[in-house]
């Protein structure tokens, strides 16, 4: 039971990352590599702030702002510096590696003996891992609600149009550069927030904890889309969260089968590849079924 509770809690916390990447990857149509730098940056800033006496709330807000700054820089490099999309993200991601080491003063910082959201007295009376479930559920509900409300506003609609058709957006007087900068700033702010909460849940921050997390985020998005099919935009936000939880259960099953934690990145990549191929395979099988029915009908 504790393993199931842990998987749900981790799925809810990591869903923040999925929603963040959904904004850039799906809505804005921007393949943002910055997340592998801003995730550990949010964690590094939060953990360092807590160890220097800041409250968990203030430290978490600082992690959000640190991630947002990383996204802002990527947006400026792409829109104003005219640097290609992928390269702009990679440059900021690489820079964050050095910044994280500067912020923490080393490769990692522990939160042992420090007050965090997860060490509050209220959670001590609850069953194991229920702290991550409650904090994750509360956070993801607020974020999903705010993002859904934002996308319904005039500014949000301009943001959506920028991703759908930049040329049409510009013809309607929308400043697509500003929309891109806004999307990257907001998305990476959420990435930094995810890093802040995950580091508090784990009890430490590490400079290399961002390696491969873009696969984790994409897995949440793709699994949600494959499992739940055609959905409205707001429903897809919920599907990302459910996809994140399903993904955690898949990893739990893999570990129960005897695989090592060292294989998780490889397994995550395989899961993502299979999920991305599944719609094409499904369409191919559906088409083959139609052809077989047509041939059998002609034979008659």
Domain residue extents for the chain: 2-210
Mean pLDDT of the residues in the chain: 87
For residue 289, what pLDDT band results from cuts at 50, 70 and 90?
Answer: low
Higher local confidence (pLDDT), 205 or 278: 205
Q: What average pLDDT score do residues 208-212 get?
A: 86
Q: How far is CA 245 from CA 7, 81, 147, 254, 279, in A?
A: 7, 38, 19, 14, 20
Q: Is 109 helix (H, G, I), strand (E, B) or coil?
A: strand
Higher local confidence (pLDDT), 274 or 17: 17
Higher local confidence (pLDDT), 263 or 164: 164
Q: Answer yes or no: is pLDDT of 276 > 80.
A: no
pLDDT, tens digit, for every residue of 63-107?
A: 999 999 999 999 999 999 999 989 999 999 999 999 999 999 988
Long-range CB contact pairs, 87-93, < 8 A, 24+:
88/34, 89/31, 89/32, 89/33, 89/34, 89/35, 90/33, 92/34, 92/37, 92/38, 93/33, 93/34, 93/35, 93/36, 93/37, 93/38, 93/210
For residue 113, what pLDDT band results from cuts at 50, 70 and 90?
Answer: confident
Q: How far apart are CA 277 and CA 237, in angstroms?
A: 21
pLDDT, tens digit, for every residue of 161-186?
A: 999 888 999 988 999 999 999 999 99
- Where do the H-state alpha helices sit in 55-153? 56-79, 85-104, 121-124, 130-152
Nearest Cα neighbor of 17 from 199, 169, 158 is: 199
Q: Answer yes or no: is pLDDT of 231 > 90.
A: no
Q: How confident is the model at residue 291, as a pLDDT?
A: 45
Q: How confident is the model at residue 120, as a pLDDT?
A: 80
pTM of the model: 0.89
């Amino acid at each position: 039971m504790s393993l199931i509770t842990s998987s749900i809690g981790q799925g809810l916390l990591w869903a923040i990352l999925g929603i963040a990447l959904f904004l850039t990857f799906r809505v804005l149509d921007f393949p943002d590599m910055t997340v592998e730098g801003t995730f550990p940056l949010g964690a590094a800033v939060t953990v360092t702030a807590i160890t220097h006496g800041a409250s968990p709330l203030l430290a978490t807000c600082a992690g959000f702002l640190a991630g947002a700054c990383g996204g802002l820089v990527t947006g400026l490099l792409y829109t104003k510096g005219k640097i290609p999309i992928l390269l702009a993200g990679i440059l900021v991601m690489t820079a964050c590696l050095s910044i994280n080491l500067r912020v923490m003063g080393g490769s990692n910082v522990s939160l042992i003996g420090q007050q965090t959201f997860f060490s509050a007295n209220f959670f001590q009376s609850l069953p194991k891992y229920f702290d991550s479930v409650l904090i994750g559920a509360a956070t993801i509900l607020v974020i999903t609600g705010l993002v859904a409300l934002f996308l319904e506003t005039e500014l949000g609609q301009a943001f959506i149009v920028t991703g759908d058709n930049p040329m049409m957006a510009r013809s309607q007087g929308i400043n697509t550069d500003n929309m891109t900068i806004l999307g990257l700033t907001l998305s990476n702010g959420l990435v930094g927030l995810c890093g802040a909460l995950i580091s508090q849940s784990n009890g430490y921050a590490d400079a290399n904890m961002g390696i491969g997390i873009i696969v984790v985020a994409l897995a949440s998005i793709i699994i949600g889309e494959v499992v739940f099919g055609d959905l409205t935009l707001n429903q897809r936000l919920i599907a990302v969260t459910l996809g994140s939880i399903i993904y955690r259960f898949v990893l739990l099953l893999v570990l129960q089968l005897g695989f090592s934690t060292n294989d998780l990145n490889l397994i995550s990549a395989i899961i993502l590849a299979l999920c991305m191929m599944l719609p094409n395979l499904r369409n191919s099988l559906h088409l083959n079924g139609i052809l077989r029915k047509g041939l059998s009908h002609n034979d008659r």
